[in-house]
Amino acid sequence: MSDEHSELQAGSAEQRGIQRLYTPAMLAELLDIPIAVIRRWHRRKLILPTQEVWRLPYFDVPEVIAAQRLAQLLHAGLSPQNIEKKLADLARLLPDVQRPLLQPSVIVQGQSILVRQGDGLIEAGGQLRLNFESTELSPLAASLELEKQLVGLASAAHPESPPALAVGVLRSVENASVSAEQMRSLAAELEDAGRLSEAADLHRAAMAAAGPDSEGCFQLAELLYRQGDVGGARERYYMAIELDEDYVEARANLGCVLAETGQRELAIAAFEGALRYHPDYADAHYHLACALDDMGHRLTAERHWQMFLNLAPESPWAVEAAERLKP
């Protein structure tokens, strides 16, 4: 794909509403949390994409605020399960409000979600909070130090005692008494609990039962990468693209894996492939510009740095892009 063609296509981004929206990777970088956490919140509909382009979700500023509040609770020490319980309590307290976490009257304070009513605060569970001190939301770019929370994903689910559903399904996989869809559903639960190896096995079992599919390959690739199996992840990304050639996030992730393993020319081809289908994919422009710079192709890289800035001027990577464009 020529750079001139990319520039023409990218010029229409604002009309299509892509500009100033955040991909999962951007949101994870912005909040300094792993992308797996963003995917969990998306999967459980705690954050909702404004639109999707070739399977790639985009989140607007209100959803960024929702994600920031969720991240604050994580940082304060709440497990994902306890956060979701508090959100359910909040929904019962405000039954007529569609997205209560986005309301100005809702305040995140430490491990609590509070609702301002008059001069007082009510906890999500309904208890009156006295002698409170109001706290402002931390800046989006604040450091959140969430590594311990990822470990908490596993401990919160008590790995030595897997969920009852897991026990039943894992015992039934061999005799095919459960459906592929049930296996995928359990795989998501196990992933949320930090049981990555078992989740990967269930994705394999689901595809063995129902045949390979691009989404299953993508999810398996993500799990393999998180377990350090870069080669396995690479092959599953390749397979996802073979099954669905317009799966742009699989193409971009493949490019990142190839770049990480020193296969920069192949990485460039993968990023360019993603941009053929989605010319306004800011993440792909960013990673392509990095790869081109690493290969010494500065002039071509500058075009993609500029396109990235045009598409995502408020991205957490925008400062780096501006620095790279300096003479």
Rounded average pLDDT over 292-311 = 97
CA distance 26 to 287: 12
Q: Is the pLDDT of residue 164 over 80?
A: no
Which class for 163: exposed (0-12), middle (13-18), buried (19 or more C-beta within 10 A)? middle
**Between vectors from CA 91 to CA 86 and to CA 95, what angle results, nearest 5°?**
160
The residue with tokens 């109001």 is: 134
CA distance 307 to 141: 23
3-state helix, strand, coil in the chain (%, to 5): 60, 5, 35
Residue-level pLDDT at 262: 96
Contact 112, 93 (CB under 8 A): no
CA-closest candidate to residue 149, choices 247, 76, 48, 52: 76
266/129: higher pLDDT: 266
Rounded average pLDDT over 303-310 = 97
Report percent pLDDT > 70 for the chain. 80
161-324: CATH, from 3.30.360.10, 1.25.40.10, 2.60.40.420, 3.30.300.20: 1.25.40.10
Residue range(s) in the chain whose domain bears CATH number 1.25.40.10: 161-324
Rounded average pLDDT over 105-122 = 88
In which band, very low, low, confident or very high, does the pLDDT at 259 lie, cut at 50, 70 and 90? very high
Rounded average pLDDT over 203-215 = 94
Residue-level pLDDT at 226: 97
For CA atoms 287, 226, 19, 140, give the dihedral sign: negative
Residue-level pLDDT at 166: 46
Specify the CATH architecture of the domain 3-129.
Orthogonal Bundle (1.10)
Which class for 58: exposed (0-12), middle (13-18), buried (19 or more C-beta within 10 A)? buried
Rounded average pLDDT over 82-106 = 91
For CA atoms 291, 294, 295, 299, give the dihedral sign: positive
